[in-house]
């Protein structure tokens, strides 16, 4: 029996939960599943490489130098890969770039297994720099699908940040389990399978891919030259220093307590707090100036990061430190969500992947600087004093954001 016009015109009821509403968009579930599978190995590769190289060559210094080289290579190559993605499309560039990175990881496994000269480890790991920024490509899809829906895009950015935190929380744990339970190369090999499979599934979802004009150069100036972009990248750099310093200092603190194996659990608490806060923040309705909101978020992050310093100084207990990191992590995701929202706004049309990758590159550079700074303070002072480095980095980010806010108002 045919429906009446009134019944046909009845709108479909949308879920009240903002996250569930995201996945009513056709194709959103499929590309999200593929992206999450591809993103999980990003938290696995560095830990797997350190375990594999240090176990084979007996040198953590060599393992750290190899992973640092790969990080530096990624910082140089990733923006160019993202520019090609913007120009030619996600599927056309992401798949061959992923396969090239996978070959680099497999070459690293072969070089370690067959005891090749040390320089081959650097060359092999540097080849993984072509790994595409799957998180940035996913955010670009949300930006395309939710064009004109600021509230929906805010929720999507929060979901993506929570996904980042979850992957970087589970990735190292999974890598350590695989390398310790089976054989040292297991973490890298499983990571390669997940990365390639996830990217192939993600790239196959062509209906949600942002359109490009074949052969045309992206419009607008380079994202790095866009007004307001450089302060945002500086905030990314300082925030990355928070992450890098916190990881090194916490491992050193746990080692000093004779509980180095518990460092991963303690750091996971920080990521868990950030993940939960990111999801809660995404469910809120944003109001007011986004730039002002960024400054408030960074101020909260700076204040909460004093808690681990106090816990380490006053108690010296990993239990209290874990609780402090759980609370301190709750300001991280809101800061990143707001900063990424601003990056999306100031990036020129048609160059979103490049702009998002510049932000990720800033984070990676900050992580490297924070790791070096935190390690220096631990070496010359103490692990407890090292918790002052994240506070200093967060305060630097706050000063940068306040200066940018004052400039925009002027």
pLDDT digits (tens, 9 = 90+) for 366-383: 877 787 788 788 878 888
**Residue 150 belongs to a domain:** yes
Whether residues 179 and 298 fall in one domain: no
pLDDT digits (tens, 9 = 90+) for 173-193: 787 778 878 888 998 999 999
Whether residues 207 and 303 fall in one domain: no
Distance (Å, rounded) from C-alpha 80 to C-alpha 196?
20
Q: Evaluate whether 384 touches 249 at the Cβ level (below 8 Å).
A: no
pLDDT of residue 354: 80
Whether residues 307 and 380 fall in one domain: yes
Q: Which of 211, 231, 256 is the last residue of a domain?
A: 211
Whether residues 131 and 155 fall in one domain: yes
Structure-token pair, residue 362? 């800033």
Lowest-confidence segment of 129-143, 302-316, 350-364 by average pLDDT: 350-364
Whether residues 237 and 181 fall in one domain: no
Q: Evaluate whether 333 touches 165 at the Cβ level (below 8 Å).
A: yes
Other beta carbons within 10 angstroms of residue 58's beta carbon come to 9
214 vs 186: which has the higher pLDDT: 186
Question: What are the backbone angles phi and psi of residue 369, rounded to the nearest 5°?
Answer: -65, -40
**Residue 2 belongs to a domain:** no
The pTM score is: 0.75
Structure-token pair, residue 141? 């899809």
Distance (Å, rounded) from C-alpha 189 to C-alpha 202?
20
Whether residues 306 and 206 fall in one domain: no
Handedness of CA 392, 396, 401, 402 (dihedral sign): positive
At 234, the pLDDT band (50, 70, 90 cuts) reads very high
pLDDT of residue 9: 47
Q: CA of 2: how far to CAs of 11, 13, 200, in Å?
A: 17, 21, 42
Whether residues 282 and 356 fall in one domain: yes
Q: Which of 192, 211, 230 is the last residue of a domain?
A: 211
What is the domain extent for residue 272? 220-410
**Residue 3 belongs to a domain:** no
Number of domains into which the chain is organized: 2
Domain of residue 203, CATH code = 1.20.1250.20
18 vs 105: which has the higher pLDDT: 105
Residue 328: which residues within 8 A CB-CB, separation 6 or more? 270, 273, 301, 304, 305, 307, 308
Residue 111: CA count within 13 A, CB half-sphere = 21
**Residue 15 belongs to a domain:** no
Q: Which of 211, 235, 268 is the last residue of a domain?
A: 211
Whether residues 113 and 262 fall in one domain: no
pLDDT of residue 171: 78
**Chain centre distance of CA 35:** 13
169 vs 30: which has the higher pLDDT: 30
At 217, the pLDDT band (50, 70, 90 cuts) reads low
**Chain centre distance of CA 107:** 25
**Residue 38 belongs to a domain:** yes
Residue 187: CA count within 13 A, CB half-sphere = 27
Whether residues 204 and 265 fall in one domain: no
Q: Evaluate whether 143 touches 343 at the Cβ level (below 8 Å).
A: no
Most confident of the ranges 114-118, 168-172, 282-286: 114-118
pLDDT of residue 7: 47
Q: Evaluate whether 207 touches 29 at the Cβ level (below 8 Å).
A: no
409 vs 92: which has the higher pLDDT: 92
Whether residues 249 and 161 fall in one domain: no
246 vs 285: which has the higher pLDDT: 246
Q: How far apart are the first and last CA of the chain?
A: 65
């Amino acid at each position: 029996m045919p429906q009446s016009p009134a019944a046909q015109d009845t709108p479909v009821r949308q879920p009240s939960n903002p996250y569930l509403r995201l996945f009513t968009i056709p194709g959103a579930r499929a590309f999200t599943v593929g992206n999450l599978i591809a993103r999980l190995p990003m938290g696995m590769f560095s830990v797997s490489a350190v375990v594999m190289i240090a176990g084979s060559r007996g040198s953590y210094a060599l393992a750290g130098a190899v992973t640092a080289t790969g990080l530096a290579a990624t910082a140089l190559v990733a923006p160019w890969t993202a520019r090609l993605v913007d120009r030619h499309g996600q599927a056309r560039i992401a798949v061959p770039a992923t396969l090239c990175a996978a070959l680099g990881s497999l070459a690293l496994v072969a070089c370690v297994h067959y005891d090749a000269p040390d320089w081959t480890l650097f060359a092999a790991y540097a080849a993984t720099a072509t790994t595409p920024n799957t998180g940035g490509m996913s955010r670009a899809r949300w930006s395309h699908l939710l064009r004109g829906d600021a509230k929906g895009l805010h929720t999507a950015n929060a979901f993506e940040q929570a996904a980042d935190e979850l992957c970087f929380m589970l990735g190292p744990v999974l890598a350590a389990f695989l390398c310790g339970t089976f054989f040292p190369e297991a973490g890298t090999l499983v990571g390669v399978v997940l990365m390639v499979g996830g990217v192939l599934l993600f790239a196959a979802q062509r209906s949600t891919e942002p359109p490009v004009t074949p052969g045309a150069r992206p419009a607008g100036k380079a994202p790095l030259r866009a007004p307001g972009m450089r302060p945002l990248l500086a905030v990314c750099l300082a925030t990355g220093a928070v992450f890098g310093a916190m990881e090194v200092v916490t491992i050193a603190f746990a080692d000093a307590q004779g509980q180095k194996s518990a460092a991963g659990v303690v750091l996971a608490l920080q990521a868990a707090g950030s993940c939960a806060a990111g999801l809660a923040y995404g469910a809120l309705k944003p109001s007011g100036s986004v730039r002002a909101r960024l400054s408030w978020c960074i101020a909260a992050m700076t204040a909460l990061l004093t808690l681990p310093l106090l816990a380490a100084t006053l108690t010296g207990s990993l239990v209290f430190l874990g609780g402090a990191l759980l609370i301190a992590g709750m300001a991280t995701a809101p800061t990143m969500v707001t900063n990424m929202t601003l990056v999306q706004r100031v990036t020129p049309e048609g160059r979103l992947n490049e702009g998002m990758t510049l932000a990720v590159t800033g984070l990676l550079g900050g992580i490297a600087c924070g790791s070096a700074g935190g390690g220096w303070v631990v070496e010359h002072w103490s692990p407890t004093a090292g918790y002052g480095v994240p506070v200093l980095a967060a305060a630097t980010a706050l000063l940068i954001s306040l200066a940018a806010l004052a400039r925009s108002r002027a």
